[in-house]
Structures are given as C-alpha cells and as structure tokens.
C-alpha cells in the first residue's frame, strides 16, 4: 500500500537547524499567513525570567501575503520518530497543524504539509510590541540554545540564500533595528569615545 509522504514546513529555526533526517527539501511558500517575532522563547533563546523572541505564523489580512521557507520530506520509516522529536523541540507553545505548500519549482504540484504554529494566547505568546523594544529583547537576550540575536541573524541570512529577491519586511526591519540597538549600547558603554 502506497503511503502519503510526510512533509514539514520550516519558516524559522528549522530552515537553518535541521536536526532530523530528510529525503528531499524544496523551497517554496505557504499562503494566508505572515511570519512574526511574537512568540516568547523560555527554553531555547531565552529563560522564563527573560523570554527571547522567535517567529510564529499569524493569519494574514491581505490576500497577497506569503511566507517563504523550506519543505522537508521525512523518510517514511522515520515519520513517527521525527514528529515526536519535533513535537518536543517545538513544545514551548507550538502546536501541529497542516496547510498547503507551493513549491518554487512550478513543475511540482502544491501539496499538504505539517507546520508548527504558536497560536495567539498560548502560554508563551508575547504578541506585538514597539519595534525598539522587540529589537532590544532580541539583541540582548540569551537562553540554553544561545543568544536570541543568532536566531534572527541565521534566519535572515538563510532567507537571503534560499529566496533571493523575496522581501520579508518584518524580518528586514527587525534586523536593522537590532543592529541599531547594538550600536547604541556600544556608544552608551563608551560615552567618552571620540567620534571620527
């Protein structure tokens, strides 16, 4: 009996930290969502006392919005093991859902895919905040998996590589705001430094 392939969509750390076996990967997008740094991370990029910020998906309000990322096909014999691993990895407020993935390669048909989403109101949901506040959190928070800034920069770098020319305004704006926050902190720490 032929089984339906299991695919998982990476739109955050799964793009650049694939810690599970895959048989195939495809760049593409999903419709009907936006990617936002609205989810708190208390177990990876922050702590319960000082949560970091990681991405989740929210329903989009515009019909033209897409979230680009990578689809990973899980080996049939590893499906349950891999999903159990991902359930644990994404345990901080994320739940498993499905949607339709559209491959960048137009020769490939769209297909159903698993996606982990931290819905609004979950235990670690932080929601929107002023840009400078989000930038400072990301710039200066760290957790067991490392600095929060590494998460953002790895994601931005990965998106530029997999989807050149695709603009994700939220990511780009946050990246620039984090650079400003770090620059301002350096100036505050060296107030007597002479300017050129």
Q: CA 159 to CA 119: how far, in whole Å?
A: 23
Annotated catalytic residue, options 90, 120, 176, 194: 90
90 is catalytic: yes
Q: What's the chain's Rg over C-alpha atoms?
A: 18
What are the catalytic residues?
A: 90
């Amino acid at each position: 009996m032929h089984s339906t392939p299991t695919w998982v969509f990476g739109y955050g750390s799964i793009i650049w930290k694939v810690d599970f076996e895959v048989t195939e990967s495809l760049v593409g997008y999903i419709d009907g969502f936006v990617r936002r740094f609205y989810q708190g991370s208390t177990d990876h990029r922050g702590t319960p006392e000082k949560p970091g910020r990681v991405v989740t998906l929210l329903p989009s309000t515009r019909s033209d919005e897409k979230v680009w990322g990578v689809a990973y096909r899980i080996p049939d014999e590893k499906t349950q093991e891999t999903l159990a691993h991902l359930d644990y990895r994404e345990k901080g407020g994320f739940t498993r859902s499905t949607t339709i993935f559209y491959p960048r390669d137009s020769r490939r048909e769209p297909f159903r895919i698993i996606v982990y989403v931290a819905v609004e109101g979950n235990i670690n949901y932080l929601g929107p905040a002023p840009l400078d506040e989000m930038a400072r959190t990301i710039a200066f928070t760290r957790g067991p998996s490392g600095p929060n800034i590494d998460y953002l920069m790895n994601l931005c770098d990965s998106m530029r590589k997999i989807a050149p020319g695709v603009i994700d305004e939220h990511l780009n704006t946050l990246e620039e705001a984090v650079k400003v926050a770090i620059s301002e902190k350096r100036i505050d720490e060296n107030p007597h430094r002479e300017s050129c």
